[in-house]
Amino acid sequence: MAASFDITAQPYARFKFSREGRVLTAIISGANPVNGVDGPMHDELAQVFTDLQRDSHSDIIILTAEGRAFCAGGDFDWFQQQIDDPSNFRAIAWDAKRIVMSILEMEKPILCKLNGAAAGLGATIALLCDIIIADEAAKIGDPHVKVGLVAGDGGALIWPQLIGYAKAKELLMTGDLLTAQEAKDLGLVNYAVPQEQLDAKVGELVAKLQGNPKWAVRWTKSVTNIPLRALAAQLMDASVGWESVSNALDDRREAVKASMEKRKPDLTGN
């Protein structure tokens, strides 16, 4: 018999956990108010979904966040460290792939309670979940290009599968954000509800899943994810590779500097 594993006993710094019966809520708890991804969070994102799957005391996972955003993408101080020393970017390449693959490999159903803005990697994580219930005031998008990066951490994988290539390429190449209602209308998220109804809607969907035989639900999810896992295996090496190349460009440096200085970037095409 496999040894019991309890994720709540693990030393996570950027996640908190709570239980209600066999439902486990994983709460992103970043070092800044918008849960921007820094080094420690990226490290934990590469491990947490494996640990959520291993957790012996849960059957359904809810992923949400504290603060005013779900996850606003990369932290700008962390971005600057990667620009100043590109070896820092190379060092996270394996983990970047592991984040995507570990979400897709999970058997347990994972519901995203999108309580606020999700951008870049934050949007990728939300959209890789099985059911996404968004606060109607939330926004979602993948603005990698606005900070000079290829959308290489999973955006180029999941957006076209959810809304088709034409619209996905428009949004990935412009970096535009969508309202939750726009995302729902496109089929990017399942529900967009008023904030005060968010918990009730998540609870309703959890109850529906709990009303079905556990293994039928798990393995239906697993089979449905087979094409996504295969596509991720095809794309992620190139995606992370091109993102790493774009991190070394002059326009990347200028885009990040301009964002930090809250001004329009002076782009040169280099």
Contact between residue 201 and residue 133 where contact means Cβ atoms under 8 Å apart: yes
Residues 6+ apart with CB under 8 A from 199: 113
The residues, ordered by sequence, that sit 6+ positions from 35 with a Cβ below 8 Å of its Cβ are: 28, 29, 41, 65, 66, 67, 69, 70, 71, 72, 122
Nearest Cα residue to 139 out of 107, 165, 116? 116
Q: What is the pTM of this model?
A: 0.96
| pLDDT class of 129 with cuts at 50, 70, 90 | very high
What was the pLDDT predicted at 3? 84
Position 45 scores a pLDDT of 98
pLDDT single digits (tens) 207-224: 999 999 999 999 999 999
pLDDT of residue 2: 66
The distance from CA 107 to its chain's CA centroid, rounded to whole angstroms, is 17
Average pLDDT of span 109-132: 98
Task: Quickly count: other Cβ atoms within 10 Å of residue 67's Cβ.
Answer: 17
pLDDT tens track for 178-190: 999 999 999 999 9
Contact 38, 86 (CB under 8 A): no
Domains (range + CATH), the chain: 7-260 (3.90.226.10)
Nearest CA among 13, 28, 21 for reference residue 64: 28
Determine how many CB atoms are found less than 10 A away from the CB of residue 54: 16
